[in-house]
């Protein structure tokens, strides 16, 4: 059992947990993830590691209540425990001094970007971060991102905080202004990552995205997380989760993420009549 030692509501429906997991905290690196199972009947879901404290032996998980399991997880409190937690899984982010790195986080995607941005900063890069959300209430980790970035740009869809618009708009402007960009790291909804890839592709700016497809085991055993990268199938759990954005088949990935969407609705909610908006 893995104890929840801290619970914080970051924004409506977005929660932060610190979980006691000394072995994972000792080993994990930016870019890696865990798989958890809440109880005996639970499903296994992957979550990226938003932070870690090696001394305290805790890892930080930030998640949005979007489905059955994340809602069930959100109902737990400090002092409760999670039955199974396995990790660190996946390859760690390649950290080096590249020069100027743009770190982009959309919505809940800011959480995994944070430790990566911090590591880039520590490695001597100039880090410019762009974080975005639908509105000001949903924006997370603003202070933390500011602390590890040379410059922080905020965008919201409705303009309630920072610039009105999408995360790709400031990126496009930097490129148009002729800024020398050595690397772009983008994590967020698939559609956002696809847009970022579309913006940087014509300029040959090396761009990395972190994928979070449907997974069962997270160790390369099921192949459910397969995604076409450069026309070859890769398993996001062991070959990734980070890939060259210009090689990823985002449309295929989006289709696969919908695999259980309707099924869950029908089976769990009697065809959606319960209005739980699943």
Partner 1 sequence: MQQVKHKMPEQAAEERRRNFNEVALGYEAETARAEAARCLQCKTAPCRQGCPVEIDIPQFIKHIKDGDYDAAIDEIKAKNNLPAVCGRVCPQEDQCEKFCIMGKKGEPVGIGRLERFAADYAMAKGREDKAEIPAEVLGKVAVIGAGPAGLTTAGDLARMGYKVTVFEALHAPGGVLMYGIPEFRLPKTIVQQEIAALRKLGVDIQVNAVIGKSYTIDELLNEEGFDAVFIGTGAGLPHFMDIPGENLNGVYSANEFLTRVNLMKAYKFPQTGTPVRVGRSVAVVGAGNVAMDSARTALRLGAEKVYIVYRRSEEEMPARHEELEHAKEEGVEFRLLTAPVQVLGDDKGWVKGIECIRMELGEPDESGRRKPVPVEGSNFVLDVETVVMAIGQGPNPLVQNTTPGLSVNKRGNIVADEAGATSKEGVFAGGDIVTGAATVILAMGAGKKAAAKIHEYVQNKKTAR
95 interacts with partner 1 by CB under 8 A: no
118 interacts with partner 1 by CB under 8 A: no
The one among 65, 80, 137, 264 contacting partner 1 by CB under 8 A? 264
258 interacts with partner 1 by CB under 8 A: yes
Q: Which residue, among 2, 10, 9, has the nearest Cα to 145 in the 3D structure?
A: 10
For 69, phi then psi, to 5°, come to: -70, -40
Q: Specify the residue, 137 or 217, whose C-beta has the smaller distance to partner 1.
A: 217
94 interacts with partner 1 by CB under 8 A: no
State in angstroms the smallest separation of the CB of 66 from partner 1. 14
What is the DSSP code string of 103-146? EEEEGGGHHHHHHHHHHHHHTT-EEEEEEEESSGGG---HHHHH
Contact (CB, 8 A) for 112 and 211: no
DSSP lists the bridge partners of residue 60 as 18, 51
The one among 12, 223, 230, 271 contacting partner 1 by CB under 8 A? 223
216 interacts with partner 1 by CB under 8 A: yes
Cis peptide before 269 (omega within 30 of 0): no
194 interacts with partner 1 by CB under 8 A: no
Site residues (vs partner 1, CB under 8 A): 23-24, 27, 37-38, 41-44, 68-69, 83-89, 216-217, 219-224, 226-228, 233, 238, 252, 255-256, 258-260, 263-264, 267-268
């Amino acid at each position: 059992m893995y104890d929840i030692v801290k619970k914080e509501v970051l924004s409506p429906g977005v929660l932060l947990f610190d979980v006691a997991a000394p072995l994972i905290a000792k080993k994990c690196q930016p870019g890696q993830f865990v798989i958890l199972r809440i109880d005996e009947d639970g499903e296994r879901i992957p979550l990226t590691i938003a932070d870690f404290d090696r001394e305290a032996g805790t890892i930080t998980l930030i998640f949005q209540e979007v489905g059955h399991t994340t809602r069930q997880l959100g109902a737990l409190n400090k002092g409760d425990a999670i039955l199974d937690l396995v990790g660190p899984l996946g390859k760690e982010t390649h950290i080096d001094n590249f020069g100027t790195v743009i770190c982009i986080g959309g919505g809940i995607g800011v959480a995994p970007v944070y430790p990566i941005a911090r590591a880039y900063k520590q490695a001597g890069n100039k880090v410019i971060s762009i974080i975005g959300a639908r509105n000001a209430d949903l924006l997370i980790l603003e202070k933390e991102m500011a602390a590890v970035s040379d410059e922080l740009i905020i965008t919201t869809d409705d303009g309630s905080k920072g610039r009105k618009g999408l995360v790709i708009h400031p990126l496009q402007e930097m490129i148009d202004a002729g800024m020398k960009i050595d690397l772009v790291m983008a994590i967020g909804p698939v559609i956002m990552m696809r847009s970022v890839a579309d913006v940087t592709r014509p300029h040959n700016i090396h761009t990395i995205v972190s994928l979070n497809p449907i997974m069962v085991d997270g160790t390369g055993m099921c192949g459910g997380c397969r995604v076409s990268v450069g026309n070859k199938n890769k398993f996001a759990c062991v070959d990734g989760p980070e890939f060259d954005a210009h090689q990823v088949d985002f449309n295929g990935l989006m289709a696969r993420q919908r695999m259980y969407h309707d099924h869950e609705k029908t089976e769990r909610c009697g065809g959606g009549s319960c209005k739980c908006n699943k």
